[in-house]
């Protein structure tokens, strides 16, 4: 009898190992029946309030909520999610090297990026906008920035876009992070901050009513889920999850929860988007 039990245990272990190996080869192959002990590694930003933010060992924001919903749809529990920081300059390399399985990090879908990675989504369409002090009604759009001081992060093209297309007399200032731009705005060192509207909404939410988003976006940025190049099966599964999230109301709730108190409203012309990329 003992030998039979031992043989059954060995068979079960071999079967479990085979299932786990299949999941490692392709996340999509596991679908909603992912092996119990498998982890899914998801890249997010750690320093963007309202989107991807690490706080006392926990993770919060719209990107985090969308990523968690998708992971649950694929069969992973919250405890099976391993969050990894995905700085903008490292995102492609992280996917190519297999450091992460998916990236949700205000990752705009572009033709240049599709040369090295694939995308699912989009799950949100942002637009470049302006963040100003709550009591400042003099700036209603980028054309009002002539003679004023505008902050963006080092290496970003957002402020340059404003200077080239809307206000050639604007004074540009760069900071290492948007949090530092927001601090400069609080203190009056600059008059406005520019980047994607949903990023600005996160900063405004973190400012407890002292800052506001102007609310007149002047570009479109399609946020996608970065995945390893060519994984169409995973893209299809992610798009199914995003579609369900939009249809069951979870997408709208996540957006409202993470921009509460800012007055932010996504551009209804593009949001919610239709996830169809990468299939």
The CB density around residue 7, as the number of other CB atoms within 10 Å, is: 10
Q: Mean pLDDT across the chain, nearest whole number?
A: 88
Answer with the residue of higher pLDDT: 17 or 176: 176
Please report the pLDDT score of residue 36 as a whole number: 55
Average pLDDT over residues 260-268: 87
Please report the pLDDT score of residue 278 as a whole number: 87
Proportion of the chain above pLDDT 90, given as a percent = 75
Calpha distance 181→259 (Å, rounded): 19
Topology agreement, domain 9-22+31-125+223-258 and domain 128-213: yes
What are the extents of the domains in the chain?
A: 9-22+31-125+223-258, 128-213
Calpha distance 142→216 (Å, rounded): 9
pLDDT in tens, 41-85: 999 999 899 999 999 999 999 999 999 999 999 999 999 999 999
pLDDT over 60 (residue 32): no
Q: Which CATH architecture has domain 9-22+31-125+223-258?
A: 3-Layer(aba) Sandwich (3.40)
CATH number belonging to domain 128-213 = 3.40.190.10
pLDDT in tens, 199-232: 999 999 888 889 999 999 999 999 999 999 999 9
3-class secondary structure, 204: helix
pLDDT band at residue 14, thresholds of 50, 70 and 90?
very low
Calpha distance 234→134 (Å, rounded): 43
Please report the pLDDT score of residue 22 as a whole number: 47
Average pLDDT over residues 239-248: 98
pLDDT band at residue 263, thresholds of 50, 70 and 90?
confident
Tokens of 162: 């404003």
pLDDT over 90 (residue 18): no
């Amino acid at each position: 009898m003992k030998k039979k039990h031992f043989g059954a245990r060995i068979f079960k272990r071999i079967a479990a190992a085979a299932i786990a190996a299949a999941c490692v080869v392709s996340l999509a192959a596991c679908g909603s029946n992912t092996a119990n002990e498998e982890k899914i590694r998801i890249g997010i930003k750690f320093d963007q309030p309202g989107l991807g933010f690490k706080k006392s060992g926990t993770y919060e924001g719209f990107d985090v909520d969308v990523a968690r919903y998708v992971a649950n749809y694929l069969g992973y529990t919250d405890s099976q999610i391993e969050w990894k920081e995905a700085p903008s300059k490292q995102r492609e390399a992280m996917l190519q090297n297999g450091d992460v399985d998916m990236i949700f990090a205000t990752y705009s879908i572009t033709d240049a990026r599709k040369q090295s990675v694939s995308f699912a989504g989009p799950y949100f369409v942002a637009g470049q906008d302006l963040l100003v002090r709550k009591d400042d009604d003099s700036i209603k759009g980028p054309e009002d920035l002539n003679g004023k001081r505008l902050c963006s992060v080092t290496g970003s093209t957002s402020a340059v876009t404003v200077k080239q297309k809307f206000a050639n007399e604007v004074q540009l200032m760069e900071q290492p992070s948007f949090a530092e731009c927001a601090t400069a705005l609080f203190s009056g060192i600059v008059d406005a901050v520019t980047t994607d509207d949903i990023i600005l909404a996160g900063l405004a939410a973190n400012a407890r009513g002292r800052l506001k988003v102007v609310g007149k976006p002047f570009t479109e940025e399609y946020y996608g889920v970065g995945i390893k190049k060519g994984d169409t099966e995973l893209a299809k599964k992610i798009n199914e999850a995003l579609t369900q999230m939009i249809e069951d109301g979870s997408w709208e709730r996540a957006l409202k929860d993470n921009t509460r108190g800012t007055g932010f409203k996504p551009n209804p012309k593009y949001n919610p988007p239709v996830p169809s990329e990468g299939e």
